[in-house]
Structure 1
Amino acid sequence: MANWKDPEIAGVRAILAARQPEPGAPTPGFPERRAAMDALGEKGALPVGCYHEPVTLGGVRGERVVPQGAAPGRTMLYLHGGAYTMGSPRSHRPLVARLAEAARTVAVAVDYRLGPEHRFPAAVDDALAAYRALLDGGAEPERLVVAGDSAGGGLAMALALALKRDGLPQPAGWFVMSPWADLTQSGASYASKTATDPTINKPRLDENARAYLGGLDPRDPLASPVFGDFEGVSPVLIQVGSEEALLSDSVTLADVLAHARVAVRLEVWPEMIHVFHAWGPVLQAARRAVADAGAWMDARLG
């Protein structure tokens, strides 16, 4: 058992341990997992004065989140995590609101289609439709950023490749947290971080990858962006915890981006876990990471 220097992350780990199901308890199905994830998000508090409302972009449902102090004309397109099989704007509302407040922008969280009901590339198609709708609605690419966590971080990088393929303008920047960018699960951290990652593991990710891909090739760059060509893509900020199974995905993604001559900044936060940003109410490191990412996006948006 590691001795954590940050007492707050030790407290987060204790909370997560208390939530673990009893041995022998039945494994919940996708509907139960989705309901539980949404319920956690809906319990979270939003910044003072922040409000949210439903929105539809390019036929894709979503949610518009408006914090106090948002600069006119700015937009963040947000792609939520949840291993492509769960998650929604509801589950991620508090995190999206805090990021939008830090970046001084309105955010639009996309409720993209999930597997196994809607296999790859449905999520990519929905993200692309929402992005196109923002442009068609008058959003200026230089005043637009795209952000995402976990599967949503991988989806953001897939969207970057789709924009390049279709000749669409890149946004001002991309911010991804703990991106799931390699659905082959081939990185070293899937094994080396087994003992220290309290939330995700390779068997569960394998299950979700199969549910999303529906038998299609996990090496398709729109499923696993680490296999893509990012030349010409706008700057990327990656934040990841040192103690998570997806650490290798972030390191590999940064390497791929750097070799494609993309301006990329990789931040590995010591002792932190998967999408630690979501623990802002009880974790100072999460609040610092959100503030740093917000400042980076604020500067990119001009």
Structure 2
Amino acid sequence: MPSTQSEKVREHWVVSRRSWIDPAFEGKDDEAWGDLTAEPRGVDYTEVDVAGMPGMWVTPKGAAADRVLLCIHGGGFLSGSLYTHRKLLGHLAKRAGVRGLLFEYRLAPVATHPAQLDDVTAAYRWLLDRGIEPGHIAVVGDSAGGGACITVQLRARELGLPLPGAALLLSPWVAMETSGDSYRTNGELDPFFQRDAVATIASAFLGETGDPRDPMANPLYAELTGLAPTYIQVGGDETLLDDARRLADRARRAGVEVQLEVFPGMLHTFQMAAGRAPEADDALDRLAAWVRPILHAER
């Protein structure tokens, strides 16, 4: 059974669904997403310009300065900010003993694909231009940001840039066609991510002329050979479960080193309850333990 603390994640998605159905409902605040996460101790935050975008260094005390978690925040490419995700990144960076970097890419529907990918790629290049070795960078993202952890590597490969050392994906959203069978099997368990909501979000992201099978938007249609070692976490009760499973399967068949973990009873981006819910803390402990040796980061 999920802990009482993890039930706060479910409550968040229940409120989000009600707001989706009834725009007049005033119970939802996109910035309140970050309220799920406890404040990590011993972490400093410094705002910075990242390739012309608002950014933030997340620096745990004693962290290695030359190892970086590049965080691509979730929110369906429609929402999310430095402030919704700074604490989550703080918890993970502290466990990994490295710095974290957040940035705010352009959001849909004002900016549609590939604007977000262009911005993510610019942030990755910004790190490289500052002398951070690619093997000392891990891209980490939740939901839409999880999918972007893959597509930024595809774009980097296309541009001839070196690839990062690792990718950490939390409840990745990749299937723009909402085609996974878990929409059916988990339909009564997931309070928010029903086909109608996800299809609407995908449409806003892709724009009127966007193709849901574009490999740079939906990596299930991409050639994944040569991508960085990848660790995927997903909740057992979320409708996007098959997005994670199918991505892991395609990556493995392409020869990518992949670890997939399904957390029973958990919902989408349950790690946002870090510092409050034992399931979230356990998940972050696992992410950090996996990525530290890849980045050669001492604890």
- Do both proteins adopt the same fold according to a TM-score greater than 0.5, normalized to the shorter chain? yes
User: What corresponds to 1:6 in structure 2?
Assistant: 2
Task: Output the TM-score relative to the length of structure 2.
Answer: 0.92
User: What corresponds to 2:215 in structure 1?
Assistant: 221
Answer with 151-160 or 35-44: which moved more: 35-44
Alignment match of 2:292 (pick from 282, 290, 298): 298
- Cα deviation, residue 114, structure 1: 0.7
Matches within 5 A, 1:143-222: 143-215=136-208, 216-222=210-216
- Cα deviation, residue 51, structure 1: 1.5
Answer with 276-285 or 120-129: which moved more: 276-285
Please tell me whether residue 106 in structure 1 is matched to residue 99 in structure 2.
yes
Identity of aligned residues (%): 36
The verdict on how the C-alpha distance between 1:6 and 1:25 changes in structure 2, with shifts beyond 3 A counting, is closer
1:257 alignment partner, SS class: helix
- Cα deviation, residue 25, structure 1: 7.4
Contact 1:13 1:198 in 2 (8 A): no
Task: Output the TM-score relative to the length of structure 1.
Answer: 0.91
State the distance in 2 between where 1:136 and 1:254 align.
Answer: 31
User: What corresponds to 1:47 in structure 2?
Assistant: 40
1:267 alignment partner, SS class: strand
Which string of whole-angstrom CA distances, capped at 9 and with x for unpartnered residues, describes residues 228-286 of structure 1? 11111110000001100110000000011011100011111111110110112332111
State the distance in 2 between where 1:128 and 1:100 align.
Answer: 21
The verdict on how the C-alpha distance between 1:257 and 1:22 changes in structure 2, with shifts beyond 3 A counting, is closer
The verdict on how the C-alpha distance between 1:167 and 1:271 changes in structure 2, with shifts beyond 3 A counting, is same
1:66 alignment partner, SS class: strand
- Cα deviation, residue 21, structure 1: 7.5
Query: Which residue type is aligned with residue 189 of structure 1?
Result: S
Alignment match of 1:87 (pick from 73, 80, 93): 80
Give ranges in structure 2 of 5+ residues lacking alignment: none
2:158 alignment partner, SS class: helix
Which string of whole-angstrom CA distances, capped at 9 and with x for unpartnered residues, describes residues 132-184 of structure 1? 11101111111111000000001111111111111111111000000001111
- Cα deviation, residue 42, structure 1: 5.9
- Cα deviation, residue 13, structure 1: 6.1
Please tell me whether residue 126 in structure 1 is matched to residue 126 in structure 2.
no
The verdict on how the C-alpha distance between 1:187 and 1:19 changes in structure 2, with shifts beyond 3 A counting, is closer
2:169 alignment partner, SS class: strand
- Count of equivalent residues: 295
Please tell me whether residue 116 in structure 1 is matched to residue 109 in structure 2.
yes
Matches within 5 A, 1:135-146: 135-146=128-139
- Cα deviation, residue 210, structure 1: 0.8
Please tell me whether residue 56 in structure 1 is matched to residue 52 in structure 2.
no
User: What corresponds to 2:66 in structure 1?
Assistant: 73
Give ranges in structure 1 of 5+ residues lacking alignment: none
2:282 alignment partner, SS class: helix
Query: Which residue type is aligned with residue 152 of structure 2?
Result: L
State the distance in 2 between where 1:165 and 1:175 align.
Answer: 21
User: What corresponds to 1:234 in structure 2?
Assistant: 228
- Cα deviation, residue 108, structure 1: 0.6
2:34 alignment partner, SS class: helix
Query: Which residue type is aligned with residue 220 of structure 1?
Result: D
The verdict on how the C-alpha distance between 1:62 and 1:10 changes in structure 2, with shifts beyond 3 A counting, is closer
Query: Which residue type is aligned with residue 134 of structure 1?
Result: L
- Cα deviation, residue 118, structure 1: 0.2
Please tell me whether residue 276 in structure 1 is matched to residue 270 in structure 2.
yes
- Cα deviation, residue 103, structure 1: 1.2
The verdict on how the C-alpha distance between 1:47 and 1:22 changes in structure 2, with shifts beyond 3 A counting, is closer
By relative contact order (CA 8 Å, sep 6+), the higher-ranking structure is 2
